[in-house]
Amino acid sequence: MESTIYIAKQPILKAEGDVFAYELLYRRTDSSRTTVDDNMYATARMLVNTLNYIGLYSLVDGKYAYIKVDKEILMSNIINSIAPSHFILEILETTSIDDELLRRIDKLKKEGYIFALNHYDRDVINMHLFKELMQRVSYVKIYSGDIVEFKERLTILHDTDITLIAEKIESDIEFNEAKQMGADMFQGYFFCKPELFGKDKIEPPSSLLMLIIYLLESEAKLERIIDIFNTSPYLTLNLLKFIHMHNGFAQNKIASIEQALIVIGREKLQSWLELMVYASDSNHKQEAFMQELQNHACHRAILMSILAREIGMDDANVHVAYMVGLLSLSEVIFQSAFEEIIKEVDLDNDIADALVNKSGQFGELLQLLSAIEQNDSYRTTAILAHLGLSQHELNECLIQSYKESTTGH
């Protein structure tokens, strides 16, 4: 059972040395290698680690991300959680090729997905189907260790439109030989060993994810789903990351959970939730800690919205205040500064300013919450005066927030 998540990346380089893409590699521990027993779990876990914890922007900085897939993954609904504009799907050489898989690849290619083949093997049993697959991929990796075999395979592929990637390059000699023989791109320890990233894992229970999936499948009203996201800063912020990965910088920045759910749509939302279910493993201590953080964030959100209404904000801004409060513990949950978190999402500017700079009215309300929690009476009095609130009015707001936090809102 993992209490820390790991992910490794290794660059794929053009001949001139520029990075074309990064291959993202699942790691179970901080070891340089991991044996994969379940491709579906490894890919799902790697994607969740990338999207929900480390951040795609932080890992690949605008370059393509290579990820390994097999038939089970390609045929599953979780493929819809992978944005085709950011990923290249690298089909494992162990994948069983049949007409069903080829039809699925054709459909995904029409949706913009790009495919690579992990290894070229001309000795497969069904050469006809293999040739059909080769017509659908844009990149093929070839192992450079066996020079005779490498030359033979390179010659066969060289007259195609496929980009040839020489992998496992471990010396200057291997690099020069592969380049002279016509390889287009290169990967291996000679250039860079996989770089490892790790973070503590805090996740919601899979039962919560399954509940939302059930509500989606039963076509429950949007309000019921909003209520669940309203209690989970983890799901809310990662939903914003997911939207940004698929939609890029939205023209209208997200200011509420309702807006976020409408933007992403039910189908993609369900595929993202299913991805997290595939990657989940139970850890009661982590779930208890997550619940404690969520309870604290929810109380902040409720108090923020009550205070916003108390100082005369309209309904739209009350929802914004709730969002600020809900996300205000994201630095603790995701172990990243707000400045880094904001790069991965399309938040409304007022929310972003409040979280990062503690500026504007929402930022001032957030400062008031901080002063109250730290029992800083001097700061509390000063902020109350600036907001035009009395201590009595604050006490009434606090009492109401505790009641709503206890009974649900």
The pLDDT, as a whole number, for residue 35 is 61
Q: State pLDDT tens for residues 60-95.
A: 988 999 999 999 999 998 899 999 999 999 998 888
What are the Cα distances from residue 145, in Å, to 32, 158, 160, 173, 262? 20, 18, 22, 11, 51
Q: Which CATH number fits domain 4-199: 3.30.565.10, 3.30.390.10, 3.20.20.450, 3.90.50.10?
A: 3.20.20.450
Residue type, 50: T
Annotate 201-228 with b (16+ C-beta within 10 A) or e (fewer). Answer: bbbbbbebbebbbebeeeeeeeeebeeb
Mean pLDDT, range 18-25, rounded to an integer: 93
Percent of the chain with pLDDT over 70: 89
Rounded to a whole number of angstroms, the distance between the first and last alpha carbons of the chain is 35
Mean pLDDT, range 332-341, rounded to an integer: 85
Residue type, 152: E
Q: State pLDDT tens for residues 98-107.
A: 899 999 999 9
The least confident of 193-207, 319-333, 371-385 is 193-207
Q: State pLDDT tens for residues 347-404.
A: 889 999 999 999 999 999 999 999 999 999 999 999 999 999 999 999 999 999 998 8
| pLDDT surpassing 60 at residue 202 | yes
Same fold, 4-199 and 206-407: no
The pLDDT, as a whole number, for residue 139 is 94
Structure token digits, residue 190: 């000679």
The pLDDT, as a whole number, for residue 244 is 86
Domain borders along the chain are 4-199, 206-407
| pLDDT surpassing 70 at residue 408 | no
The least confident of 14-23, 170-179, 221-230, 296-305 is 170-179
DSSP H helices, 28-98, are: 39-48, 56-60, 71-75
The pLDDT, as a whole number, for residue 249 is 47
| pLDDT surpassing 70 at residue 278 | yes
Percent of the chain with pLDDT over 90: 47
Q: Which fold has domain 206-407?
A: Hypothetical protein af1432 (1.10.3210)
Mean of all residue pLDDT scores within the chain: 86
Q: Which of 329, 383, 333 is nearest to 361 (CA)?
A: 383
